[in-house]
Amino acid sequence: MADNGTLFDEELLGAAPAEHLPEQQLPPAAAPLAVRMRPATLEEVVGQDHLLAPGSPLRRLVEGEGATSVILYGPPGTGKTTLARLVSQTSGRRFEALSAVSAGVKEVRAVIDTARHRRGRQGAGATVLFIDEVHRFSRTQQDALLGAVEDRVIVLVAATTENPFFSVVAPLLSRSLVLQLHPLSDADVQTLVRRALADPRGLGGAITLEPAAEDHLVRLAAGDARRALTALETAAQAVVSAGACEVDLACVESVVDRAAVRYDRAGDQHYDVISAFIKAIRGSDVDAALHYLARMVEAGEDPRFIARRLVVHASEDIGMADPTALQTAVAAAQAVQFIGMPEGRLPLAQATVHLATAPKSNAVITAIDAALADVRSGAIGTVPAHLRDGHYAGSARLGHAQGYRYPHDSPEGVLAQQYPPDALVGRNYYQPSDHGAERALAGRLSRLRQIIRSH
């Protein structure tokens, strides 16, 4: 296999710094702006300072000194491939590249066999193997890497946009450092946009960008450098076609009309956003709750999943403080099932507003969990004889249902009688709060307990 796989040919990666590449290896002028503007040195990298401090594992790897395998995890457009490119430029290292989209176990083993041969016969150091989108590798494909990573026959540099703790096998995780790349800040994206405007590799000063247009482009990029540069390039092409040289706000708006929604339905964004959604409702912040709902709806989250969480939350965090909250949540779930999306966003939003603004109480979940704890610890006892089933022949001889008092015979509809097993007499599971409807319920419950337990 060649030093650089096809993943890095021309428009993606080179084998040495751009200024030292033969002309045919430089990104061609027709390459996308984002490719032409890839940082050629560490000094050009923006963002990710937390990973590139002097002496850090990633910086040592880029500088040709480190030998620790790393998994670069982060959203698109934050520099994962750029950092792999910089590793590929390290002198004295063999660099191989595979894409998990097209490579299989055969290709992985071929790289490993070549690396072992080089180390055994030629005394060479470890081969650096870059695998893009490693989360797409099957378990078998990932397992094929374990021995070579363990023995440092290869130094693995893997990139993924999905949380590796969901998508990478545990043995490979334990042999690698997981390094999380953060979304670029607006200032970082702004730096890259201005560099692309001025740099000869980019637009070379031929195009200017109106300040309002720059602000809009940066904001809509949502921390994704590739998205920002792609939008800039498209806007610049439109301007040039019109015989102008300044990109204004209207031009950018015509190119990018909405922000990128960073969300993965099977990974950490799925769990993080729904967690924030529920916590915002619990905290009675209706505006934040609607924001997270909008993120899920826009990203295409299953509306039934959202509806189920609302139903659970109605009992878990509101309960009897507002008994109608559960009715609203269930109605929203049924409505979503009946009408589908996008109209289903309306009952979901209505339920969200109801639950977020409702009085809160966790008395229901506290009560059932306390009862379950007693049952699991063995505090069960037997059902009192007078409460047992008496609808079969011979039950009377066993003493079942004898002495049971029918509450409707009492003018108040409640009377003194033992209901729990002997071991649990006097145990209070449900403790209503002083919020919403539970305030009145607390007084009624106290009177009920007093009558029932007066036998």
Residues 6+ apart with CB under 8 A from 274: 292, 296, 305, 306, 309
Mean pLDDT of the chain: 85
Mean pLDDT for 201-212 is 91
Are 279 and 291 in contact, with CB atoms under 8 Å apart? no
Question: pLDDT (tens digit, 9 = 90+) per residue, 105-133?
Answer: 888 899 899 888 887 766 667 788 899 88
CA distance 221 to 183: 10
Amino acid identity at 148: A
Domain with CATH 3.40.50.300 in the chain: 6-180
CATH architecture under which domain 6-180 falls = 3-Layer(aba) Sandwich (3.40)
CA distance 433 to 442: 7
Q: Which residues sit opposite 97 in a β-bridge?
A: 130
The verdict on domain 186-255 having CATH code 1.10.8.60 is: yes
Residue 122 is predicted with a pLDDT of 61
Domain with CATH 1.10.8.60 in the chain: 186-255
Q: Is the pLDDT assigned to residue 330 strictly greater than 80?
A: yes
Question: pLDDT (tens digit, 9 = 90+) per residue, 393-410?
Answer: 777 778 888 888 889 988
Domain with CATH 1.10.3710.10 in the chain: 380-452
Mean pLDDT for 72-89 is 86
Q: Is the pLDDT assigned to residue 51 strictly greater than 60?
A: yes
Are 246 and 207 in contact, with CB atoms under 8 Å apart? yes
CA distance 310 to 333: 8
Domain with CATH 1.20.272.10 in the chain: 268-357
DSSP state of 94: -
Query: Of 48-62, 351-365, 394-408, where does the model show the most confidence?
Result: 351-365
Quote the pTM value. 0.60
Question: pLDDT (tens digit, 9 = 90+) per residue, 159-190?
Answer: 998 889 888 999 999 999 999 998 898 899 99
**CB crowding 343-370: b at 16 or more within 10 Å, else e:** ebbebbbebbbbbbebbbbbbbebbeee
CA distance 21 to 39: 14
Q: Is the pLDDT assigned to residue 31 strictly greater than 60?
A: yes
Specify the CATH number of the domain 380-452: 1.10.3710.10
DSSP state of 445: H
The verdict on domain 268-357 having CATH code 1.20.272.10 is: yes
Question: pLDDT (tens digit, 9 = 90+) per residue, 237-280?
Answer: 988 888 888 998 888 888 776 655 666 555 667 888 999 999 99
Q: Is the pLDDT assigned to residue 20 strictly greater than 60?
A: no
> At 132, is the secondary structure helix, strand, or coil?
strand
Cis peptide before 342 (omega within 30 of 0): yes
Mean pLDDT for 196-213 is 92
> At 130, is the secondary structure helix, strand, or coil?
strand
Residue 58 is predicted with a pLDDT of 87
Q: Is the pLDDT assigned to residue 5 strictly greater than 60?
A: no
Are 380 and 321 in contact, with CB atoms under 8 Å apart? no
Residue 220 is predicted with a pLDDT of 81
Are 306 and 296 in contact, with CB atoms under 8 Å apart? yes
Residue 99 is predicted with a pLDDT of 84
What is the rounded end-to-end Cα distance, in angstroms, of the chain?
88
